[in-house]
Amino acid sequence: MKKIPSLIDVALRAKVNISTVSRTINQTGKIGSETQARVQKAMRELGYKPNRVARRLRTQEGSTHLLGLIIPNIQNIFFADLARGVEDVAYKNNFALLLCNYDEDEAKERFYLDVMQSESVDGIIIPPIHETDPAVLQVVRNGTPVVCVDRSLSSGNLDKVEVDNHIGALRAVEHIIARGHRRIGVIGGPLDSSTGRERLRGFKDAHAKAGLTLKSELIRFGDFKQESGQVHARELLTLPEPPTALFVCNGLMMVGALEAIAALGLKIPRQVAIVGFDELTLADVFNPPLTVVRQPAYEVGKWAADLLLKRIEDPKRPASSLKLLPELIIRKSC
Amino acid sequence: MKKIPSLIDVALRAKVNISTVSRTINQTGKIGSETQARVQKAMRELGYKPNRVARRLRTQEGSTHLLGLIIPNIQNIFFADLARGVEDVAYKNNFALLLCNYDEDEAKERFYLDVMQSESVDGIIIPPIHETDPAVLQVVRNGTPVVCVDRSLSSGNLDKVEVDNHIGALRAVEHIIARGHRRIGVIGGPLDSSTGRERLRGFKDAHAKAGLTLKSELIRFGDFKQESGQVHARELLTLPEPPTALFVCNGLMMVGALEAIAALGLKIPRQVAIVGFDELTLADVFNPPLTVVRQPAYEVGKWAADLLLKRIEDPKRPASSLKLLPELIIRKSC
DNA sequence: GTTATTCCGGCAATCGTTTGCGGGACCAAG
DNA sequence: CTTGGTCCCGCAAACGATTGCCGGAATAAC
């Protein structure tokens, strides 16, 4: 239970005032070089580490060196990759990361948003739970820098970095059609999320461009969780006239769909072709290897953190909006 | 840029002293009921949220309601599940989570450990980078509650929750042997981690029990990352006399090994059987479905957080040590 | 020698809480 | 009427940093 040294201890040992110590640490104000040396020495000898809490309390604005990241679920590999991207740039800039999972639960999102403000984070990265997320807007109004990732906010002029979901889905479904499929089932996401909507739009546009008519019984909406992928896939594939191909709108639901297919004993791609959204672990060594549209999750995180850091430095800079391109990785499942 | 209300604002509005407000919030000290009501009302009207930073600064000890979790890599599904377990119990108890990835990098681990102390977290959950991790020990000596997960620390009498790695590996390799394999390759982990060592011990013990002699050329050591799984698998399988079965000691390396097998065009389990450590996404729908020893990662996280919370509440309680049982899931890859 | 300028570094307020201490008000007992 | 005891609640000192302001010393200019 050793006492952790504070500014005072350093000041005492170097025989200077605490303000002098503070100034040598932060390189602010003019301090004589021999005084600096004395202070440095004292700090080294005591193993002094500045107290981030005190620092954050004092300087409400500016670099308290803490970033907040609020995501639906870290178990979703997409968000894990994204988080990793954020973390890497945070670490490079000496920022720590407050990470929370809100599970698509609005109350939880609110709670964590409160925590972040209460912790005086320098900025927050978040995929808003839906397009008009009042809680997020409130945080922005309070002056906390926010950048939206993955999903966007309809109002509020915020920094954001997204993936071009429309083009991703479009390419995927065009590819399915090019493979000769005409009855294509889709397991989409919630329509109040921009990702869900954009991917569905891609699905529809691909049909339109090919002159295909949509079959409403083949359009299902999941909740981006594994379970829903499974039930909808099972339902679709046990239809009297089942689809010959499936387009699944996120990774977790893809896993569920694959489970359903395995349970039904269907062969991919002969009996049912499938293409997913999100690269999965093992997708390339799966049998057959999975055709998916890969989202650059890590890069999304990286860019988001970049943007956030820039905004923290200069709160007045105009909001920028990035849209990264997903990549259709054609393997053997379709 | 609305001003966030503080205790003072509430006090002013309720026409009481700030200490009274503080006391009604924390239920400490006797406060008249009509005064309490007035304060509650003022808080509601102003939308007051206590400032966690100030609170943490003031009370160095006790519930600042922040937990630290330092893990190697969130992209490793084992740690993602574990993190989720921690997070769930943290949330239930109104704790937030400071999450960091140290990437098996000692400098990074040190940095984050410093950050956590500097942030005055209530406690830390960490898989120590190796058995005699001086940085972790130092933190413990400073009086911060720590619980070790997954890997343990040889000295220091700490709370810990681990998986029984020996029995897991033993069962796995026994199963491989029962399938008739005699030349079994292993891709192990670093020997300075308890997990790496215990799993290898299981491997050896299984051989001993079956009266098999170890072939040293079939024993390889990776670093628990994907890449190393791939190169060692390739090397093993291109030996003049390759093993007929592989035991891979963690999930990431398993992915690498499967890549190598796919690249080599080998058929599982006919040409090479394989069993891994850690359940992987898609493992059960893989072709063939993967035989693995599943670690209860989520439960490890849950228990660890439980233990940590208990210790925070009562720092003097004797250290407890949990060992959870892994489960051998026999599917078709061996 | 006097005044002005520069350079350093100390003093003290501040951030938003918690908390030990003390004191006023009120009531009951003597 | 005095004394003693509760019961509330206010005062002010922490926690560990940052920072505006000021003043002393040293040097330079006159």
Give per-10-residue mean pLDDT for chain B (334 aa): 82 90 87 87 90 86 81 92 95 90 89 89 91 88 91 86 97 97 96 92 97 96 95 97 97 96 95 96 93 97 96 88 96 96
Closest to A142 (Cβ–Cβ): which among B4, B66, B114? B4
Interatomic CA distance for residues B187 and A159, integer angstroms: 45
Closest to B114 (Cβ–Cβ): which among A49, A54, A143? A49
Q: What is the CA B321 to chain-centroid distance, rounded?
A: 15
B57 contact to strand D (CB, 7 A limit): yes
Cβ(A210)–Cβ(A180) under 8 Å? Answer: no
- Taking alpha carbons only, the member of A235, A245, A228, A229 closest to residue A185 is A245
Which residue has tokens 């909406």? A221
Q: What percent of chain A has pLDDT over 70?
A: 98
Amino acid identity for residue B218 in this structure = L
Q: Look at residue B127 and give its three-state secondary structure.
A: coil
Q: How far is A110 from chain B (nearest CA, A)?
A: 12
Question: Greatest CA separation found in chain A?
Answer: 86
Domains of chain A from N-terminus onward: 7-50 (1.10.260.40), 66-163+297-325 (3.40.50.2300), 165-294 (3.40.50.2300)
Question: Residue B264: what pLDDT?
Answer: 96
- Whether residue A63 is predicted with pLDDT greater than 70 in this model: the reply is no
Q: Which residue is nearest to nucleotide C13 (CA to C1')?
A: A58
Out of A60-64, A163-167, B244-248, B300-304, least confident range:
A60-64
Query: Across-strand partners of A148?
Result: A126, A160
Question: Residue B314: what pLDDT?
Answer: 85
Question: Residue A148: what pLDDT?
Answer: 95
Interatomic CA distance for residues B183 and B203, integer angstroms: 12
Q: What is the token pair recorded at B83? A: 């993190």
Q: Considering only CB atoms, which chain B residues are within 8 Å of A72?
A: none
Chain C: nucleotides below 7 Å from protein CB are 7-12, 14-21
For residue A288, cis peptide bond before it (omega within 30 degrees of 0): yes
Q: What is the token pair recorded at B330? A: 């026999």
Cβ(A199)–Cβ(A189) under 8 Å? Answer: yes
Cβ(B96)–Cβ(B79) under 8 Å? Answer: no
* Structure confidence by residue, pLDDT tens digits, A133-157: 889 998 888 888 999 999 988 877 8
Q: Which of the nucleotides lies closest to B26 (Cα–C1')?
A: C18
Q: What is the token pair recorded at B321? A: 């040590």
Q: Which residue is nearest to nucleotide D15 (CA to C1')?
A: B58
Question: What pLDDT band is residue A164 in, cutting at 50, 70 and 90?
Answer: very high
Please judge whether B281 and A281 are an interchain contact, meaning their C-beta atoms are less than 8 angstroms apart: yes
Q: Considering only CB atoms, which chain B residues are within 8 Å of A84?
A: 73-75, 101
Please judge whether A281 and B143 are an interchain contact, meaning their C-beta atoms are less than 8 angstroms apart: no
Question: Residue B215: what pLDDT?
Answer: 94
- Whether residue A163 is predicted with pLDDT greater than 90 in this model: the reply is yes
Closest to B282 (Cβ–Cβ): which among A51, A91, A286? A286
Q: Considering only CB atoms, which chain B residues are within 8 Å of A287?
A: 286-287
Please give, one letter per residue, the 3-state secondary structure of A68-120: EEEECCCCCHHHHHHHHHHHHHHHHCCCEEEEEECCCCHHHHHHHHHHHHHCC
- Taking alpha carbons only, the member of B17, B42, B10 closest to residue B31 is B17
Q: How far is A1 from chain B (nearest CA, A)?
A: 4
Q: Greater confidence, A208 or B59? A: A208
- Taking alpha carbons only, the member of B31, B301, B124 closest to residue A75 is B301
Work out the number of other CB atoms within 10 angstroms of the CB of residue A238. Answer: 10
Interatomic CA distance for residues B196 and B198, integer angstroms: 6
* Structure confidence by residue, pLDDT tens digits, A212-265: 999 999 999 999 999 999 999 999 999 999 999 999 999 999 999 999 999 999
> What average pLDDT does chain A have?
92
- Taking alpha carbons only, the member of A161, A163, A129 closest to residue A147 is A161
Question: Residue B80: what pLDDT?
Answer: 94
Question: What pLDDT band is residue A3 in, cutting at 50, 70 and 90?
Answer: confident
In sequence order, which residues have a C-beta less than 8 Å from that of residue B31 and are 6 or more positions away?
Answer: B20, B23, B24, B39
B28 contact to strand D (CB, 7 A limit): no
- Taking alpha carbons only, the member of A302, A242, A240, A250 closest to residue A276 is A250
Interatomic CA distance for residues B73 and B103, integer angstroms: 6
